[in-house]
Every structure is written in structure tokens, then in C-alpha cells.
Amino acid sequence: MDKVYIEGLRVDTVIGIHDWEREIRQDVVLDIEMASDIAPAANSDAIADALDYAAISERLLDFIRGSSYQLIETLAQQVATLLQEEFGVAWLRLKLSKPGAVPEAQAVGVIIERGCAD
């Protein structure tokens, strides 16, 4: 299985359960792996035949900046759904981190996997 990935996509959003978190914007960081048969793009050398990571990144930045979830679990699920529905991603692994959420940790977060890896 070929994979296209986006690593370290940082975006600010409203995220958190505490009242003070609802008043500020915080960074979240995404690492995404997506199943993609790269052979058509490799053969044609055309972006139209590729899973366009630039377009995906822009869409995710817009979506996440406009969101206001309490839980990173909810945000992760919504991102996965967006990737599957809007970009036809059959399988993905998403690591969503919230740096600074626990002062003693570099980051905390969730890792989810959706779809079939075939």
C-alpha cells in the first residue's frame, strides 16, 4: 500500500473543556498517513492523478480554524470523516496532538485509524 503523508500540520483553534480554553485559541498538530495508489500520478506526472496534499492541508487548516470542539477525540473523528468524504481517502491514520495541554508533557493526543488498509 502506498501512502501520502502530511507531518506536523500546525493549526490554531478553539479546543478544550475548561471555560478559559473556550476563550482562547490553542495549537493542535496533525500527522496524517493516507492510503493512495501513487502509480497513476507517477506515470502521468500530473497533479490531477495524485492525492493533493497541498489541497488537503488547506482544507484542513480552514476546517480546523473554524471549528470549536471540546474534545480532541471529536476533532480527530471529524477530520477523518472529512478526508474520507471529500478526498476519497479509503484508509488513514491520524495523530492529533495538543502541545502544552499537560505542562510536564511535550504533547498529548489521540491516534486513530479509519478505513480498510487494502
92 residue type, one letter: L
The alpha carbon of residue 69 and the mean position of all alpha carbons in its chain are separated, in whole angstroms, by 14
Please calculate the CA angle 60-106-7 and round it to the nearest 5 degrees. Answer: 35
Maximum distance among all alpha carbons in the chain? 52
Q: How far apart are CA 102 and CA 81, in angstroms?
A: 27
Catalytic positions, please?
98
Q: What is the distance between the alpha carbons of residues 83 and 55, in angstroms, rounded to a whole number?
A: 11
| Separation of alpha carbons 15 and 117, rounded Å | 30
